[in-house]
Chain A
Amino acid sequence: MILDGKIPSGPLHEKWDKRLAEMKLVNPANKRKHRIIVIGTGLAGASAAASLGELGYTVDVFCFQDSPRRAHSISAQGGINAAKNYPNDGDSIERLFYDTIKGGDFRSREANVYRLAQLSANIIDQCVAQGVPFARDYAGYLTTRSFGGAQVSRTFYARGQTGQQLLLGAYGALSRQIRAGTVTLHPRTEMLDLVIVDGHAKGITVRDLVSGRIDSYAADAVCLASGGYANVFFLTTNSVMSGVTATYRAYKKGAFFANPCFTQIHPTCIPVTGEHQAKLTLMSESLRNDGRVWVPKIKGDKRPANDIPESERDYYLERKYPAFGNLAARDVTSRATKEVCDEGRGVGPGGRGVYLDLGGAIGRLGENTIRERYGNLFEMYERITAEDAYQQPMRIYPAPHYAMGGLWVDYNLESNVRGLFVLGEANFSDHGANRLGASALMQGLADGYFIIPYTIANYLADTKPGVVAPDAPEFKKSCEEVEAFTKRLLAIKGKKTAHEFHRELGKLMWNNVGMSRSEASLKEALKRIPEIRAEFWKNVTVPGSGRELNQELEKAGRVADFLEFAELLTHDALQRDESCGAHFRVEHQTAEGEALRDDKHFSYVSAWEHKGVDKEPELHKEPLVFEHAHLAVRSYK
């Protein structure tokens, strides 16, 4: 099937205005009769629920944490892009658009990206009005900083906690609506199924994580803002509860999953220390501005970093990419790092790490300057590794960080299932094959504050409120299915924990479907994943019962979904026989090791339709049409 993104016609910069003018509205008096479900309370979910509540809709918002404020958007450090051109350095909507679409290696939808750039300025204004304490200069004006992939300074920030501050702003707006009674909050509640009635999303089935009760909620529309799936790799920078469950179960109910193989690997994370580790921590990429990346020239060199003389160090990024040096693009850096570690030259426990050396900069600029610039990062590094990075180089290694892929949505953020809207990292639309820094926050808030309030009205205007009652047979069936799934997990009583399976899957995914992928590695993964899954369903152990707070049961459910989703991701990676952005197929590279795109054959969105577990998913394509941006070789030289 060829999918229609429902992009408005006309010039790029008029598309959104045109759509706004075309879309239907809901009578203010009727809004409260429409019930909307929002899953997730990150930037996209919280901003959507708050905005919809303000408009007068009756909203139910769900999160599996104890409070909406815990959502993983809170961990974002760097900043949020906006085409404000405050520094007078030549920024514009057009430029932000182009940087973002180029950063995505021309695998995102042009019209969506342009709209994102248009809305970016409104986001900053909205957040300032909410009281987000963005950094200011001495005259009281907003300040910006530079970020990767852009030549202008357009990133707004609140120290190293931009995500936290933006989320708390949205959480405040959401809290206000909860108080006003337009939004009902359901914390510690996990979505386990999407309920579809006559082809329209009309509700969800959830498990109350405290009592274990399984219940259905009916609504007139469902918004999924449940985040990304990077945790399929097990050791990632994502929070430990992040999962694919909400989006995957919607996929199993008919929503198409788009570009699942587009997963971003961040080059500068603190390396794995041992088997016990639950997650990885990001070190801001900005360290590469002053740091030099190197490994010993000799394999298995066990000497401490400071004992290795200059002549025996291999500054491999500078050697391989003399033009870019240590500032080579994220994906290139990550792959080069993996390569030297594969050669056995990695440092630290397990040999999976390289040095990020700020020694030269400390010598040149003095320890104080470095402390001012990166003090908090050095502290964070010390807390985790007990190493003093002022005395010896840091060790870093790439780690999975973000999912560009997600449920397929049209220009209105509606999936192929009518009435199911997908927001933020959970959808696929804006970042193509690679996301630029400081644009995830921008997308989440644009979707929630400024897109969904309009596009959902267009859908609701054609639906009769409350047409599906919560006692419809579809809900009962959904509850029974979820109940049966839970019982099935509890009944296995095997020997291995869900955690062990997750780790095993993650290792396989990381090695075979990680930074570089080959046909052979992908095929091997496709063989291994069903084996691990089969063993999981024979040998996992989940203690306790379903009628209580049972974290192992929650975890097992999420791992079960990863074990199916991993196959879909791998399948997509195998099907996309080109390299683009973060998706690097070793078969397709330039002489310098850069990703080699195949626009002739792969300039489309791959949207997969579920055909049953152990069956091949069906591929649907949405061709990517570039009316405005020129398809060019992505290069930052």
Chain B
Amino acid sequence: MNLTLYVWRQKSSKDPGRLVQYEAKDISSDMSFLEMLDVVNEGLIVKGEEPIAFDSDCREGICGMCGQVVNGVPHGPRKKTTLCQLHMRHFKDNDTLYIEPFRAKAFPVIKDLIVDRGAFDKIIQSGGYISVHTGGVPDGNTLLIPKHDADIAMDAAECIGCGACVAACPNGSAMLFTAAKVSHLAMLPQGKIEAARRVCAMTEEMLAQGFGNCSNHYECEAVCPKGIKVKFIAKLNREFIKAQMTGS
């Protein structure tokens, strides 16, 4: 199939960017979206032009490195699918695709479709862990965790930190990302001890990093490639209220 692409090109964070038109020719429907871009890039390199810069690593939907906005939707049109797992058979011949970087103040563009998601690391650094030292821990089975709780914790822990939630949010909020980590740890007995401090520190860091607030649009849930639910945002809110009421 043949496609017309409008791709965001931006030399560096300091330069202004713009959409540039490219023709993607003879694209196989078996290609993944990123392989389609690989093909376009090979063509550009041979012509002596600079290829389109974009992030990707594992290409099997788990590392969270890839992510672009395709026709207004982060990770493209297929539900619960990262861009690297989205295949071209979901597009039609002669389609026009707008390909843009994830946009948010907290995710400045580094080059073309690559953005800096270091703000996510900063949120985790502010408290997205259990403060345990290596060694000196009890046997894993001394801590009993109901299957139901462990399953919910795992639902939240599946977040791959790709940033699609921020890209989709009209407010550029990182609530779903933050909520997933807060909920994952707050569901587990070993994580409850620091839950109050954690939720306050992480939401504060989220604002400090320039993310917006949650307006409950649930756009994040709709684009999340791992299907993380907004019920975890409600859980974060509860954890926050609990923390405030207990004065911690």
Contacts and interface: CB of A to CB of B under 8 A. Distances in A.
A–B: direct contact at CB < 8 Å: yes
Interface in A481-508: 495, 497, 499-500
Interface in A430-457: 449-450, 453
B38 A383 contact: no
Contacts of A124: 140
Given A72-B58, A274-B30, A141 B190 contact: no
A129 B190 contact: yes
A311 B131 CA distance: 62
B124 to A, nearest CB: 5
A142 B42 CA distance: 49
B190 A66 contact: no
Contacts of A237: 60
A126 interface: yes
B238 interface: no
A175 B38 contact: no
B111 A549 contact: yes
A495 B46 contact: yes
Contacts of B161: 67, 69
Nearest to B81: A383
B64 A70 contact: yes
A383 B60 CA distance: 11
Contact of B137 (A66, A75, A128, A549): A128
B134 A50 contact: yes
Interface residues of B, number: 75
A54 B44 CA distance: 47
Given A66-B118, A75-B60, A278-B59, A273 B144 contact: no
Interface residues of A, number: 82
B134 A173 contact: yes
Interface in B125-180: 125-126, 128-135, 137-141, 143-147, 150, 153-154, 157-158, 160-161
Given A130-B129, A140-B144, A75 B62 contact: yes
A141 B63 contact: no
Nearest to A47: B134
B194 to A, nearest CB: 10
Contact of A67 (B44, B49, B120, B126): B120
Interface string A167-192: 01001110110110000010100000
A552 interface: yes
B35 interface: yes
Contacts of B133: 54
A449 B135 CA distance: 8
B137 A125 contact: yes
Contact of A74 (B55, B58, B117, B137): B58
Contacts of A171: 124
Interface stretch (A131-139, A420-428, A579-587): A131-139
Given A124-B140, A543-B45, A175 B129 contact: yes
Report the 6 A-B pairs with minimum CB-CB distance, sorted nearest first: A172-B129, A140-B144, A129-B137, A128-B140, A273-B30, A136-B150
Interface of B: 11-12, 28-32, 34-35, 38-39, 42, 44-46, 48-51, 53, 55-60, 62-65, 81, 85, 87, 89, 110-111, 114, 116-118, 120-121, 124-126, 128-135, 137-141, 143-147, 150, 153-154, 157-158, 160-161, 184-185, 188, 190-191
Interface of A: 47, 50-51, 54, 65-72, 74-75, 84, 86, 122, 124-131, 133-142, 158-159, 161, 164-165, 168, 171-173, 175-176, 178-179, 185, 187, 210, 237, 239-241, 273-274, 276-279, 281-282, 380, 383-386, 449-450, 453, 495, 497, 499-500, 541, 543-544, 548-549, 551-552
Given A239-B63, A449-B135, 14 more contacts: A66-B117, A86-B141, A128-B190, A129-B138, A136-B150, A137-B147, A172-B128, A210-B111, A239-B58, A278-B35, A279-B59, A383-B85, A385-B30, A450-B135
11 contacts: A66-B117, A67-B117, A74-B58, A75-B60, A86-B141, A127-B140, A129-B138, A131-B153, A138-B147, A384-B85, A552-B45
